[in-house]
Structure 1
Amino acid sequence: MKSRTWTAALAAGLLAAATNGAQAEPVLQGKDAYGDWRADKPGAVRVIRPQDLARPNATPSVASFSRVVPRPSQASLQVPAGFKIELFAEGLRAPRIIRVAPNGDVFVAETRAGTIRVLRTGEGGKVATNEVFASGLKQPFGIAFFPNGDNPQWVYIANTDSVVRFPYQAGDLKARGKAQTIVASLPHDGGHSTRDIVFTPDGKRMLVSVGSLSNVAEGMGTPPGGMDVWSKTQPLGATWASELERATVLAFNPDGKERKVYATGIRNCVGLAMQPQTGLPWCSTNERDGLGDDLVPDYVTSVKEGAFYGWPWFYIGNNEDPRHAGARPDLKDKVTVPDVLIQPHSASLGMTFYEGTQFPSEYQGDAFAAEHGSWNRSKRTGYKVIRIRMKDGKPTGEYEDFVTGFVVSDTEVWGRPVGVAVAKDGSLLVSEDGNGTIWRVSRQPQ
């Protein structure tokens, strides 16, 4: 769980594939990689390393919320050369996570409405069927089909406070009966309400992400029995009081039993995904606020069982949060460094790995993540979809802008990306909850 060795060689030839033969963009490194939305464009590649971190409070902490406006008639999303993007669905109620069933139906979590919706495509790749699969749920977010494979028997839904499931047969547009409660109680209320859910490739474990209650465990107090007792009896880096079992990934068996903490110190693992090559879970993570424009980077990372990722005492390795100075020196050298650092305050949400056959072969095994957009930064970042570069199943540390164009101005945006999923035909689907739309990225015919 020590810091990884970061690659220094960033060959331009590796980057040219993203633009299907177009001239590669230069790699933005260090401070140049931070930037803001004006520098975003498909093919722009960034790499941020732990040694590139700004100092705490090097700039003031700024609250700069974007105003969501109706999608302008002239709005145009940009994708790399060799691809095209078109509207897939509209009129949805703040669509968030999207997952594709083995038969190709697209399941959409409308979190605020408490519903799960099913979209089915017809001729020309347009939505022909739009049905509410289940309603009356409590802030549903994560969706998973079980067992893995082409013939799942259940649809699992992660509410903010529980996990439920519905019997399922391929092609179902309506839930069969009432929800069966699998996990009756997840930590909830306060901040970070999203709960994502995935199953391990062997089908033996169900992983559920739970974000922290607070920004950085302010006022957490003293653990029961004192620090020495607590640290010897709990998972590495575990928190207590209102943050108990939060900022974690939890593990269960598929029946909701054998509950345990899988990993700790992940402030808000919004998007969960299983990497096909390794069978490891990955998290798309929102890091903490309040330390300035360029701290702390969000990240996308593999998650190892028993690992501790720093929150709330440390970040990106052994960097101590000044708000918890001297609180946990015993954890300083036990922090796992995340794989891929993202521009600070981008709000990285849903993620997926590409296993389709429509995109060029260089995309096989790469990941995509949706950046919902910043509020704690004077120069707006996020509001785009990024591609996480892999080589032989391992992250290079680089990421690339893949879909941009959701920002209107320094103060206004029309789209906030949330979910990414690979459709049955190999195209990429992107949801945004600002104007209630889903977009489809496909390879442009030559």
Structure 2
Amino acid sequence: MKTFAPTLLLAGAFAGLAFAGHVLAQSEEARRLIGPVAFSDWRQDAPGTWRKITAQDLPAPLASEPTASRSQVVARPDGAAPKTLAGFSAEIFASGLEGPRVIRHAPNGDIFVTESVGGRLRVFRLENGKIAPALSHVFASELERPYGIAFYPPGPEPRFVYVGTPTKVLRFPYKNGDLSASGPAETIATLPGADGGHWTRDLVFSRDGKTLYVSVGSKTNVAEGHPRPSAQEVAQLEAAHGQGASAGVEFERATVLAIDPEGKSRRNVANGLRNCSGLQLQPGTDALWCVVNERDMLGDDLPPDYATRVKEGAFYGWPWHYIGAHEDPRHAGERPDLSSKITIPDVLFQPHSAPLGIAFYEGGQFPAEYKGDAFVALHGSWNRAKRTGYKIVRLSFKDGVPTGEYQDFLTGFVVDDTRVWGRPVDVAVARDGSLLVSEDGNGTIWRVSYSGAAAPVRTSGN
């Protein structure tokens, strides 16, 4: 495999220049937006602000006119950088990438990144363990929109690196320190996706390595216009694939699949997850988590996107219902039998924020209160008149259980109501405890570090 070096900016070398991350002081009492007031826009975003939305806060369907409002991605303005909390700083880790998406670090500390536009799996080699790469290498190329990355078996000595593409799970031979694939890709499983629709396929192995979890988003927005199976067909489908399983062009979609490492068996873990774009295991509990892009065209403030534990055999509503027993008017009366069987997600985000990546913080660099919390990348809205998303948020946990609140952690990617310069995709905790953030608007990876100058204030609600 050839070596390819994008434009790299050493993280530590530029701390004093104009584009180093802005640091914002946080007020003594953190601002909290609870309930309907949390349905705001980018102008209300600020590091430190907390939000909480519940199923009881939702407006009626079509309370506002559905709006297509795609952002214009522009070059990063001179001096622009993400805004973060006091004591933290954001600096460029790498630039010049083609659609950087998922970030994972190998057991030896090398950092792997998928470039979905460039069709590459890239690896960054750290020098002397320092988080400032001198060179990157192309581990594999000519891939079909690569996304998820997982090392197998889990633990210190993997033998393979798995890659999720829209239609396949691939694996390459791998041992610690490899900078290019030592053999060709092997197809472990084929996935629905050749006919289009949501294409992101994230991957994560169970802790014991016996199960590979694969996220598969829906083909359509809300399964409109497709033939409805008969009651007998539904019964047969759900007996084999679980409650709320999709049929027709949506078969094995809007779900999380469980596949054995050799691809010889598969099953649906949970259904009704319209587009679960990011998967992670929660440390300590091994609960499987995903972040989900919900449906469009029900108005600015419906329905919320979310992060949730993926419970075995659970059904999360799509396409008939959303956030509990709220019925989608486009499927009125079609599946009343499911209304009392829907699992409500754990953390609700502002609608159309488009969450893509999640990472739990187990590092040692940030203040102790961050341990066990999670970070989520919000890619940003297109189906909302008032722009939202385009930031990194922190999910609050207490004793391993989500509180439902989330905090703006990294903002500043929006220029104005029509233009943005960054679209966050994924988050990963590096070996030194800093946070890496990919964004595919301008093809950069940012590193967020903590200097210890100030400790953030947790909301009084936790």
Q: Give the TM-score band, short-chain normalised.
A: over 0.9
| Contact kept? 1:187, 1:245, Cα under 8 Å | no
Q: Does 1:102 align with 2:107?
A: yes
Shift of 1:232: 5.0
Query: Deviation of residue 258 (structure 1)?
Result: 1.6
**Residue number among 9, 25, 30 corresponding to 2:35 in the alignment:** 30
The answer as to whether partners of 1:248 and 1:262 remain within 8 angstroms in 2 is yes
After superposition, the CA RMSD in angstroms is 1.5
- Cα deviation code 1:307-339 (max 9, x no counterpart): 000000000000000000000011000000000
- Could you tell me which residue of structure 2 aligns to residue 358 of structure 1? 365
Residue 228 (structure 2) pairs with residue 222 (structure 1)? yes
Distance 1:95 1:234, change over 3 A: closer
Decide whether the 8 Å contact of 2:26 with 2:85 is kept in 1.
no
Deviation at 1:344, TM superposition (A): 0.3
Contact 1:22 1:81 in 2 (8 A): no
Q: Is the Cα–Cα contact under 8 Å of residues 193 and 199 in structure 2 kept in the other structure? A: no
Residue pair 1:115, 1:137 contacting (<8 A) in 2 also:
yes
Query: Given residue 259 of structure 1, which amino acid in structure 2 is its aligned partner?
Result: R
Tell whether the 8 Å contact from 1:272 to 1:350 is kept in structure 2 after alignment.
Answer: yes
Per the alignment, residue 211 of structure 1 pairs with: 217
Q: Distance in 1 between matches of 2:87 and 2:375?
A: 17
What is the aligned-residue identity percentage? Answer: 58
2:163 aligns with 157
Residue 146 (structure 2) pairs with residue 129 (structure 1): no
| Matching residue within 159, 173, 177 for 1:171 | 177
What are the Cα deviations for residues 395-428 of structure 1, in whole angstroms up to 9, with x where unaligned? Answer: 0000000000000000000000001000011100
- Structure 1 position 183 matched with structure 2 position 189: yes
Kept after mapping to 1: 8 A contact 2:241/2:268: no
Separation in structure 2 between the aligned mates of residue 135 and residue 24 of structure 1, nearest angstrom:
49
Residues 289 and 345 of structure 1 are in contact (CA less than 8 Å); yes or no, is this contact kept in structure 2? yes
Structure-1 residue corresponding to 2:382: 375
Normalised to the residue count of structure 1, the TM-score between the two structures is 0.93
Distance change in 2, residues 1:170/1:229 (3 Å): closer
Partner of 1:140: 146
Aligned-partner Cα distance in 1 for 2:284–2:316: 22
Greater displacement, 294-303 / 230-239: 230-239
Q: Which amino acid aligns with 1:88?
A: F
Check whether the contact 1:71–1:435 (CA below 8 A) recurs between aligned residues: yes
Aligned match of 2:280 in 273, 277, 295?
273
Cα distance in structure 2, aligned partners of 1:362 and 1:257: 42
Offset at residue 220 of structure 1 (A): 2.0
Post-superposition Cα deviations, 1:166-195, rounded to whole Å, max 9, x if no partner, equal: 111111110111011111344443221100
CA–CA distance in structure 2, aligned partners of residues 284 and 318 of structure 1: 20
In structure 1, distance between residues paired with 2:385 and 2:58: 17
2:254 aligned with 1:252, yes or no? no
* Change in CA separation of 1:234 and 1:199 when aligned onto 2, cut-off 3 Å: closer
How far does residue 21 in structure 1 lie from its aligned partner after superposition?
A: 8.1
- State the partner residue of 1:308: 315
Distance in 1, Cα, partners of 2:65 & 2:361: 38
Is residue 2:55 matched to residue 1:50? Answer: yes
Confirm whether residue 41 of structure 1 aligns to residue 46 of structure 2: yes
Q: Deviations over 1:198-221 (max 9, x none)?
A: 001121111000000000001121
Of 374, 397, 402, which residue of structure 2 is paired with 1:390? Answer: 397
User: What letter is aligned with 1:426?
Assistant: G
The partner residue of 2:439 within 432, 436, 440 is: 432
User: 1:20, CA displacement in angstroms?
Assistant: 9.6
Asked whether 1:85 is paired with 2:90, we answer yes
Paired residue for 2:8?
A: none
Residues 289-368 of structure 1 aligned to structure 2 (within 5 Å): 289-368=296-375
Distance 1:375 1:228, change over 3 A: same
